[in-house]
Structure 1
Amino acid sequence: MGEFTDKVKGAADKVVGSVKESVGKVTNDPELEIKGKAQKIKGDAEKAKGTVKGKLNDL
């Protein structure tokens, strides 16, 4: 994947993760809440990956 694709996928994962985490809190579903937190972390990693790819392309 390219830099832009990684960043968009990361942003999407952060949003979906936030929704899952919120729904997990509201419904008192700790498993869903944990999955949401994990997906948010995955999103952060994907955004970072995209940033690194961009910096490497600038060299």
Structure 2
Amino acid sequence: MSASSDKAEGTMDKASGKVKEVTGSVTNDKEMENEGKAEQTKGSAKKVKGEVKDAFGSD
């Protein structure tokens, strides 16, 4: 996977995770809220992975 696609996937994971977190919060569904938080964390990790690849010039 390229650095750009890692960063793009990370951004998408963070966005969808935020939607799940907010939906879970509004509907009082703690499982969905926690799933959203976990997805956001996964997205952050993917973005960092892409940034590291950029910094070191590897794909």
| Residue 44 of structure 1 pairs with residue 44 of structure 2 | yes
Identity across matched positions, percent: 48
The separation in 2 between residues aligned to 1:57 and 1:25, in whole angstroms, is 40
1:20 maps to 20
Shift of 1:7: 0.2
The gaps in structure 2 that reach 5 residues or longer are: none
* Aligned residue in 2 for 1:9: 9
Q: Give the AA of the match of 1:55.
A: A
Moved over 3 A (4+): none
Deviation of 1:12 after TM superposition, in Å, equals: 0.2
Q: Which residue of 1 aligns with 2:32?
A: 32
**What is the RMSD of the two structures over their aligned residues, measured on CA atoms?**
1.0
Q: Which residue of 1 aligns with 2:53?
A: 53
TM (norm. structure 2) is 0.95
What whole-Å deviation, never above 9, does each CA across 1:5-51 have from its counterpart, x for those lacking one?
A: 00000000000000000000011100000000000000000000000
- Report the count of equivalent residues: 58
